[in-house]
Amino acid sequence: QVQLVQSGAEVKKPGASVKVSCKASGYTFTSYGISWVRQAPGQGLEWMGWISAYNGNTNYAQKLQGRVTMTTDTSTSTAYMELRSLRSDDTAVYYCARKKWAATFDYWGQGTLVTVSS
């Protein structure tokens, strides 16, 4: 069965970077894209961007351009999301999701809580 398993919770100081992993199993990794979506405490869902696992092409949300990088390692079927220059308002649960087509996300990871605090 399709599974996306994310890395564990992180606590970071303002200005630091965080890298979250998302290990896929149960399907051909390079046949689908991976998107990242975050959710601040008590708030709604915010799309961050996605990466093609086939060719590594990326698209990022405009507000995160320059601070976010998404990569994949096809040898381990793992996607990564790195966010730099962290601020307190980056505190959120970060989800990876498989991109079924266009922008339809059919399987999701369990989420990774990133807390930014001094």
Partner 1 sequence: DIQMTQSPSSLSASVGDRVTITCQASQDISNYLNWYQQKPGKAPKLLIYDASNLETGVPSRFSGSGSGTDFTFTISSLQPEDIATYYCQQYDNLPQVTFGPGTKVDIK
101 burial (CB, 10 Å; 0-12 / 13-18 / 19+) is exposed
Question: Residue from 7, 12, 47, 91 that binds partner 1 (CB under 8 A)?
Answer: 47
Q: Which is nearer to partner 1, 114 or 118 (CB)?
A: 114
Which residues, numbered 71-110, are part of the site for partner 1 (CB under 8 A)? Answer: 95, 97, 100, 102-106, 108-110
Closest approach of Cβ 61 to partner 1, in Å?
Answer: 7
Nearest distance in Å: CB 28, partner 1:
18
If one asks whether residue 55 binds partner 1 (CB under 8 A), the answer comes out as no
How far is 12 from 88, CA to CA, in rounded Å? 9
Sequence-distant (6+) residues with CB within 8 A of 32 are 53, 98, 99, 100
Phi-psi sector, 66: left (phi>0), alpha (psi -120 to 50), beta: left
User: In this complex, which beta carbon is closest to partner 1, that of residue 77 or of residue 109?
Assistant: 109
> Which residues are within 8 A (CB) of 76 and not within 5 positions of it... i.e. 6 or more apart?
23
Q: Which residues bind partner 1 (CB under 8 A)?
A: 35, 37, 44-47, 49-50, 59, 61-62, 95, 97, 100, 102-106, 108-111
